[in-house]
Structure 1
Amino acid sequence: MSRESVLSSLIQFDVPVAQLKAELGTLTWDCAPVVTLLRSHIAAVLDRYSRGEIDAPTVEDWANLVECREDIGFEAGFEELIDAAIFDLANPILNGELSAVAPVILARLR
């Protein structure tokens, strides 16, 4: 898969985490953004969590795959909000359990 297609699958979270990890492992880190993470992408992941389709560790794994990637840009005008949301989701030990932080993050994103 191309970098763009792998990263698109990551931000849309339309393939399992294990597959994403494997495909991301083939990509180099130092690359300009080729996809843009939107507030709606994060909200969609949290909505899936709220519906019980994915669990908290899966959301954490997804956020860890997104966090600090130079090849993923953030929605213009919302960069700090998106960065903070990904940090919160990737670090539940620091920021609290997903069941507590998900509603707060969703409210900020919407």
Structure 2
Amino acid sequence: MMESRKILVTKLVEYKAPIGDILEDLKSYGWDSEINLVTLTPFHLINVLERFISNELSDVQVRNWANAIEHREDIGLLSEYKDTLDEMIFWLANPVINYPINKDLAIRVIKNLKSNNVQ
């Protein structure tokens, strides 16, 4: 049985399965969406970066995750952090033109998010 689009997008945002597998399953739904099925929050970003810092995820996996969620029409950004989340996802999705994904960057991003009273 095929999982619903909302379940798949939730798995993507939460990085609950290999990104390639999730994207393969999402192909059947297409790219366009009239509504946000899931809202990306600072917690999602912090979770992925903490997993990177602890060596559970590689820099390539973080980049692929950010690329997979960047500009998806079915993923919204938590409104009070929209600009920050958008910028940080852009950084992570495009390390060649921005900053290399390393532990220093991950720590800075987490501190930035947490200093804005994010839990």
1:17 aligns with 2:37: no
Residue 24 of structure 1: CA displacement?
Answer: 2.2
How far apart in 2 are the matches of 1:108 and 1:101? 10
CA distance in 2, matches of 1:108, 1:75: 16
Q: Which runs of 5+ in 2 are unaligned?
A: 115-119
Residue 67 of structure 1: aligned partner: 70
Deviation of 1:30 (Å): 1.7
Q: Deviations over 1:54-103 (max 9, x none)?
A: 10000000000000101101112110011011101100001121114212
Matched residue count: 110
CA distance in 2, matches of 1:57, 1:16: 12
Partner residue in 2 for 1:97: 100
Structure 1 unaligned residues grouped into runs of 5+: none
Deviation at 1:14, TM superposition (A): 0.5
Question: For residues 5 and 65 of structure 1, what CA distance do their matches in structure 2 show?
Answer: 15
State which structure, 1 or 2, has the greater radius of gyration over its C-alpha atoms.
Answer: 2
Paired residue type of 1:48: R
Within the candidate set 58, 61, 82, 1:58 is matched to 61
Q: TM-score, normalised by structure 1?
A: 0.94
Question: Equivalent residue of 1:73, what SS?
Answer: strand
List aligned pairs for 1:30-49, cutoff 5 A. 30-31=32-33, 32-49=35-52
Letter in 2 for 1:93: V
Instruction: Identify which of 91, 106, 109 aligns with 2:110.
Output: 106
Matched position secondary structure for 2:76: strand
Matched residue SS, 2:32: coil
Q: Does 1:28 align with 2:23?
A: no
Divergent runs of 4+, >2 A = none
Larger CA deviation: 22-31 vs 39-48: 22-31
Structure 2-normalised TM-score? 0.88
Distance 2:67 2:44 in 1: 15
